[in-house]
Amino acid sequence: MNNKKEDKKVDVTNRQGSGSFYSTVVKDHFFHPKNFMEDETGYIADGIGMVGSPACGDVMRVWIKVDPKSERITDLKWKTFGCASAIAATSMMSVMVTENEGMTLDEARKLRPQDITFRLDGLPQRKIHCSVLGDKALRSAINDYLRKVGQTDRIEIEHGRIIDKVLKITDHDIEEAVLEGADTLEKVQDKTKVGTGDPSCIPEVEQLIRFYKEKYYGAE
Amino acid sequence: MRKNKQNVYLDHAATTPMDERVLKTMIPFFTEVYGNPSSLHAPGQQAHEAVSQARKTVAKLISAHEDEIVFTSGGTESDNLAILGVIKIGGADVKSRLGKDVIPHIISNELEHPAVLELLLVLQKRGEIELTLVKADKDGVLLAKNIAEEIKNNTILVSVMYANNEIGTIEPISDLGKLIIKNRKQTGLTYPLLHTDACQAAGYLDLNVEKLHVDLMTLNGGKIYGPKGVGALYIRRGVRLSAQVIGGGQERGLRSGTQNVPGIVGFAKALDLVQAKREKESARLEKLRDRLIEGLLKIPKSRLNGHAIKRLPNNVNISFMDIEGEAAMLYLDAKGVYCSTGSACASTSLDPSHVILALGMSYEAAHGSLRFTLGKSTTKADIDYVIKVLPPIVEQLRKISPVNLDMEYFSNGNKEKK
Ligand code: FES
Q: Spell out the per-residue pLDDT of chain B, length 418, in tens.
A: 444 447 999 999 999 999 999 999 999 999 999 999 999 999 999 999 999 999 999 999 999 999 999 999 999 999 999 999 999 999 999 999 999 999 999 999 999 999 999 999 999 999 999 999 999 999 999 999 999 999 999 999 999 999 999 999 999 999 999 999 999 999 999 999 999 999 999 999 999 999 999 999 999 999 999 999 999 999 999 999 999 999 999 999 999 999 999 999 999 999 999 999 999 999 999 999 999 999 999 999 999 999 999 999 999 999 999 899 999 999 999 999 999 999 988 887 778 899 999 999 888 888 899 999 999 999 999 999 999 999 999 999 999 988 877 666 666 544 433 3
Query: Looking at chain A from residue 105 to 164, which residues have their Cβ under 8 Å from any Cβ of chain B?
Result: 126, 130
| A55 reaches B (C-beta below 8 A) | yes
Domain-terminating residue out of A112, A132, A154: A154
Determine, yes or no, domain membership for A129: yes
CA angle B379, B207, B24 (to 5 degrees): 60
pLDDT at A144 over 70: yes
Same domain, A147 and A169: no
DSSP symbol at A183: -
A169 plus A99 within the same structural domain: no
How many domains does chain A fold into? Answer: 2
CA of A91 to the centre of ligand 1 (A): 14
Q: What is the DSSP letter of B101?
A: T
Residues whose CB is less than 8 angstroms from the CB of residue A55 and which lie 6 or more positions away in sequence, other chains included: A129, A130, A176, A179, A180, B344, B350
Give me the residue from A55, A79, A181 closest to B402, CB to CB. Answer: A79
How far is B201 from A27, CA to CA, in rounded Å?
36
In chain A, the percentage of residues whose pLDDT exceeds 70 is 85
The last residue of one of the domains, among A154, A178, A205, is A154
Tell me the domains of chain B and their CATH numbers: 8-16+278-404 (3.90.1150.10), 20-276 (3.40.640.10)
- The verdict on A42 and A125 lying in the same domain is yes
Q: Answer yes or no: are the C-beta atoms of B161 and B126 closer than 8 Å.
A: no
Asked if residue A132 and residue A28 are part of one domain, the reply reads: yes
Query: What residues make up the domain containing A201?
Result: 162-217
Confidence bin at A21 (pLDDT 50/70/90): confident
Q: Which of A110, A134, A154 is the last residue of a domain?
A: A154
Closest residue on chain A to B404 (Cα): A81
Residues A45 and A72 in one domain: yes
Higher pLDDT, A4 or A112: A112
Catalytic residue among A18, A20, A40, A56: A56
* A33 and A127 share one domain: yes
- A48-96 pLDDT, tens digit per residue, is 988 875 456 567 889 999 999 999 999 999 999 888 999 999 999 999 9
pLDDT of residue B114: 95
- Under DSSP, the state recorded for B161 is -
State the distance from the centre of ligand 1 to the C-alpha of B335, rounded, in angstroms: 21
Residue A10 lies in a domain: no
pLDDT tens-digit profile of A32-47?
Answer: 999 999 888 889 999 9
Listing DSSP states for B273-312 in one string gives HHHHHHHHHHHHHHHHHHHHHHHHTTSSSEEE-S-SSSB-
CB distance A52 to ligand 1 below 6 Å: no
- Residue A16 counted as domain residue: no
| The pLDDT value given to residue A53 | 55
Judge whether B257 and B238 are in contact, CB under 8 Å.
Answer: no
Roughly how many angstroms between the first and final C-alpha of chain A, as a whole number?
30
Residue A220 has pLDDT above 60, yes or no: no
Q: Which residues contact A95 (CB under 8 A, 6 or more apart)?
A: A34, A35
- Top residue of A29, A31, A58, A83 to mutate, by most chain B CBs within 10 Å, is A83
Q: What is the pLDDT of residue A15?
A: 43
Contact B160, B148 (CB under 8 A): no
Q: What is the pLDDT of residue B28?
A: 97
A15 domain residue, yes or no: no
d(CA B144, CA A197): 43
Q: Is A86 in the pocket of ligand 1 (CB under 6 A)?
A: yes
Is residue A3 situated within a structural domain? no
CA distance A46 to A146: 9
Contact B240, B90 (CB under 8 A): no
- Is A38 within 8 Å of B402 when comparing Cβ atoms? no
* CA-based torsion, B121, B125, B130, B136: positive or negative: positive
The pLDDT score that the predictor gives to residue A47 is 92
Q: Are residues A129 and A90 in the same domain?
A: yes
Residues A177 and A137 in one domain: no
- Residue A93 and residue A200 share a domain: no
For residue B126, give every residue at least 6 positions away whose Cβ sits within 8 Å of its Cβ, in sequence order, or none.
none
HSE value, Cβ hemisphere, 13 Å, CA-based, for A3: 13
Q: How far apart are CA B22 and CA A6, in angstroms?
A: 57
Query: Helix (H, G, I), strand (E, B), or coil: what is residue B383?
Result: helix
Q: Are residues A138 and A189 in the same domain?
A: no
Q: Are residues A44 and A87 in the same domain?
A: yes
The chain-wide mean pLDDT, for chain A, equals: 81
Per-state percent for chain B, helix, strand, coil, to nearest 5 = 45, 15, 40
Please report the ipTM that was assigned to this predicted complex: 0.83
What's the pLDDT at A3?
41
Tell me, what's the pLDDT at B409? 61
Q: How far apart are CA B216 and CA B234, in angstroms?
A: 5
pLDDT of residue A149: 87
Angle, CA B416 vertex, CA B415 and CA B418 arms, to 5°: 130
Q: What is the pLDDT of residue B417?
A: 35
A148 and A174 share a domain? no
Q: Which of B34, B66, B28 is nearest to B47 (CA)?
A: B34
Q: Based on C-alpha coordinates, what's the Rg of chain B?
A: 22
Q: Which span out of A133-137, A146-150, A190-194, B33-37 was modeled with the highest average pLDDT?
A: B33-37
Q: Is the pLDDT score of A181 beyond 90?
A: no
Count H helices, E strands: chain A?
8, 5
Which amino acid does the sequence have at B29?
A: F
Q: Per the domain annotation, does A122 fall within a domain?
A: yes
pLDDT at A133 (0 to 100) = 75
